[in-house]
Chain A
Amino acid sequence: MADTKTLDKSQLEEKKPLFGKRERRLITDPINDNNPITVQVLGICSALAITTQVSPAVVMTLAVIFVMGFANLFTSLLRHSIPKQVRMIVMLIIIAFLVTVVELSLKAINYPIYQELSVFIGLIITNCIIMGRLEAFAMADKPWPSFLDGVGNAMGYGAILIIVAFFRELFGSGSLMGWELFGPGEQFMINTDAHWWLSWYMPNNLMVLSASALFVIGILIWIHRAWNRKLIDVS
């Protein structure tokens, strides 16, 4: 899909709608058919590191949508003037610049969340999903499609991130977005110790370990491919 349209004439370009069929596909494809995590295998590290709770996953998703959209846009604008031999350094400088923008804005807007998440925001620089899309798409396509591709891929990535974080937080620590729902102890909304038919329940500490994120994503891939059967690996 990245390298199909290179022969467009400029007159045709002006008549094209801003959200044509191809543009819509750029947004929706990465959420299902071409999901960055479950199909393209990009951005796994951060999916393992920050999915123990839902709220960091949500903030990370928003930050990645911003960084990816604009990194793709800027790289695509510069794509004719970047020499092939130094392209990685140029890309990394663009990414690092945008990540710094996110970091400083978060610091100005909401300092408590910044203190909680500053490490994760720095991790965006080494998130291979961004550089992967820059290499695969933005270096070879026009700015507007590249921007949409970045936003779409970031949303597909965020969807998986939030699903995994939901299960890991719910079963790992019995809470969601910091609200303690069920578990043994007074602080939980449903105190499993207080009811004899629930007293067997314990939050599963395995879910807090990174290894469990691999299991959750593995099972997610299983469900996704059982539902969308054209993704099944036949080799």
Chain B
Amino acid sequence: MELINIFIKAAFIENMVLAYFLGMCSYLAVSKTLDTAFGLGLAVIFVLGITMPINWIITTFLLSESGLLGMDLTFLRFILFIAVIASMVQLVEMVIEKYSPALYASLGIFLPLITVNCAILGGSLFMVAREYSFTESVSFGLGSGFGFFLAIVAIAAIREKIRYSNVPGPLRGLGMAFILTGLMGIGFMSLMGIDPSAFTGS
């Protein structure tokens, strides 16, 4: 039950994009069409779901004082986390390039930029700060990935609809996406502070 709570909390209440405004670059740039947004969302779920447990293992067994090296190496956290994330993104890039060249072409530069998507590094840092256990970190990683997926698919669907509405010319596309995201963020603020354990009874 605890794991479900963490998943729901990460996906809806503390949504990376709409509550913390992390990972905005790829969120705004790749949400032009639903298909690419869907593909990027899946890639982010994968990267977050994999890097979070790996980074948990690194912090617990390598960097902490009670770990294998017996030294407090937390100052190396950033560089190691980034290295793990970069190698996972590189893996995803190679897989997508091989199996879906169309998606690879449409994601363009924003596929390698998942590496510097602050939602992913931010997720790992939140995981350390909140002292999650291994299983909890898996659940948190998948939950925040799902939150990102949900947000990017939602904005892509709205942007596909809004293309046919009468938006003032200069505001078309990117400008409207910014304002819509701001409104969605204010909407998500109303969910803040809800405690999911009150509903699932654990």
- Report A's interface with B, CB cutoff 8 A: 38-39, 41-45, 48-49, 85-86, 88-89, 92-93, 96, 122-123, 125-128, 130-132, 135-136, 209-212, 214-215, 217-219, 221-226, 229, 231-235
User: Are B78 and A135 interface neighbours, CB within 8 A?
Assistant: no
Chain B residues, CB < 8 A from A125: 78, 82, 116
A64 to chain B, nearest CB (A): 13
A189 to chain B, nearest CB (A): 30
User: Are A218 and B116 interface neighbours, CB within 8 A?
Assistant: no
User: Are B23 and A45 interface neighbours, CB within 8 A?
Assistant: yes
A10 to chain B, nearest CB (A): 30
B118 touches which of A126, A135, A215, A234 (Cβ 8 Å): A126
- Report B's interface with A, CB cutoff 8 A: 21-26, 28-29, 32, 78-79, 82-83, 86-87, 89-90, 94, 109, 112-113, 115-118, 121, 163, 168-179, 181-183, 185-186, 189
User: Are B28 and A41 interface neighbours, CB within 8 A?
Assistant: yes
B24 touches which of A48, A212, A225, A235 (Cβ 8 Å): A48
Shortest Cβ distance from A49 into B: residue: B21
Interface of A is mostly: helix
B55 to chain A, nearest CB (A): 14
User: Are B113 and A135 interface neighbours, CB within 8 A?
Assistant: yes
Bound complex: CA A123 to CA B94 (Å): 27
User: Are B173 and A44 interface neighbours, CB within 8 A?
Assistant: no
Given that A44-B24, A45-B25, A222-B171 are contacting pairs, would A217 and B78 also be in contact in the complex, using a CB cutoff of 8 Å? Answer: no
User: Are B90 and A210 interface neighbours, CB within 8 A?
Assistant: no
Chain B residues, CB < 8 A from A226: 169-170
